[in-house]
């Protein structure tokens, strides 16, 4: 007879053990997020300031979504079958989802880069100044949709066109989730504007956890539809 390992047994039943496990998870996921995104973000810092560098800056953000997806994947395990191996779950999520994520993230990033370049060069682009706020709203909408797509692609294996439609569908079907996601996006923009990009990076671990929690209604519905 072979003994089966219980993930919960690794943690222990007392309060201190459980709290320590939670802190450990947050720290490990944060370190992994920093390691997988820091090279790209350092390149962003070096390229910042040059108006013509917008395409290169956009390219630097390509690795960000797969890393965030891996974190969301790990947090799903944390919530359902917690153990003391967050790094293993992060790596597994990265390996399983990076290509699916890039299929929608790269075009999304191209749109965001174009909007950012236009906002930075309104006069040179011949765009009336009044369109600036409109472009900002469009960018916010794209980011909210992207956050929805990130959670869905981290949890489900879907064709890209189905994922694109589902992420848009749930913006209207679950407005409370969309509003919560918008709040997270606005908070992230505010943190960058008022402090530093690196503060946002250091909050990426709890940020991805909150993003997953906020998307619970969407995931329950989508999982019921496509895995039942």
Task: Give the global pTM.
Answer: 0.91
CA end-to-end span of the chain? 33
Cα(191)–Cα(193) distance, integer angstroms:
5
Cα(201)–Cα(96) distance, integer angstroms:
23
Between the alpha carbon of residue 131 and those of residues 58, 119, 178, the distances in Å are 22, 9, 24
Cα(197)–Cα(107) distance, integer angstroms:
23
| pLDDT for res 2 | 42
Does 74 have pLDDT greater than 90? yes
| pLDDT for res 119 | 84
Q: How confident is the model at residue 10 (pLDDT cuts 50, 70, 90)?
A: low
Q: How confident is the model at residue 130 (pLDDT cuts 50, 70, 90)?
A: confident
Question: What does the pLDDT look like over 23-48, one tens digit per residue?
Answer: 999 999 999 999 999 888 888 888 87
Listed residue (228, 47, 215) closest to 145, CA to CA: 215
| pLDDT for res 97 | 96
How much is the average pLDDT of 65-80? 96
Between 13 and 71, the higher pLDDT residue: 71
Question: Phi/psi of residue 4, each to 5°?
Answer: -95, 135
Question: What does the pLDDT look like over 82-100, one tens digit per residue?
Answer: 888 999 999 999 999 999 9
Cα(177)–Cα(54) distance, integer angstroms:
31
């Amino acid at each position: 007879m072979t003994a089966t390992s219980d993930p919960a047994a690794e943690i222990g039943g007392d309060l201190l053990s459980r709290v320590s496990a939670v802190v450990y998870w947050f720290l490990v996921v944060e370190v992994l997020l920093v390691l997988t995104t820091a090279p790209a973000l350092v390149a962003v810092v070096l390229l910042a300031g040059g108006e013509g560098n917008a395409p290169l800056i956009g390219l630097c953000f390509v690795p960000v979504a797969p890393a965030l997806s891996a974190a969301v994947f790990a947090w799903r395990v944390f919530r359902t079958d917690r153990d003391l191996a967050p790094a293993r779950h992060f790596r597994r999520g990265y390996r399983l989802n990076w290509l699916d994520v890039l299929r929608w993230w790269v075009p999304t990033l191209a749109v965001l880069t174009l909007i950012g370049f236009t906002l930075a060069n309104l006069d040179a682009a011949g765009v009336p100044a009044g369109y600036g706020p409109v472009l900002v709203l469009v960018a916010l909408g794209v980011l909210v949709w992207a956050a929805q797509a990130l959670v869905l692609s981290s949890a489900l294996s879907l064709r890209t066109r189905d994922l694109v439609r589902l992420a848009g569908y749930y913006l209207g079907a679950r407005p409370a989730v969309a509003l919560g996601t918008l709040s997270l996006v606005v908070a992230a923009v505010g943190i960058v504007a008022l402090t530093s990009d690196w503060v946002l990076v250091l909050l990426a671990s709890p940020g991805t956890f909150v993003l997953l929690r906020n998307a619970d209604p969407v995931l329950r519905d989508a999982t019921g539809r496509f895995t039942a």
